[in-house]
Amino acid sequence: MASNGALRRDGGTLAASGVFDRAAATQLWQQVDDLLPGAA
């Protein structure tokens, strides 16, 4: 948990809940898939 919190320090309090991380990751992968079909 401590290392996890340190890794997510940049994301702020929203990232600590994990909800923001999942939403951002999903959006990022969607953009990557649009640019590079099959990459995701």
- Decide if 40 is inside a domain: no
pTM of the model: 0.39
**Are the C-beta atoms of residues 29 and 36 closer than 8 Å to each other?**
no
- Decide if 13 is inside a domain: yes
Within 1-40, strands assigned E span none
- Decide if 6 is inside a domain: yes
Distance, in Å, from the CA atom of 12 to the CA atom of 10, rounded to the nearest integer, reads: 6
Indicate the number of domains in the chain: 1
- Decide if 12 is inside a domain: yes
pLDDT recorded at residue 37: 80
CA torsion, points 3, 8, 18, 14, in degrees to nearest 10?
140
Kindly report, residue by residue over 1-40, the tens digit of the pLDDT: 445 555 555 556 655 567 667 788 888 888 988 888 876 5
Distance, in Å, from the CA atom of 7 to the CA atom of 37, rounded to the nearest integer, reads: 29
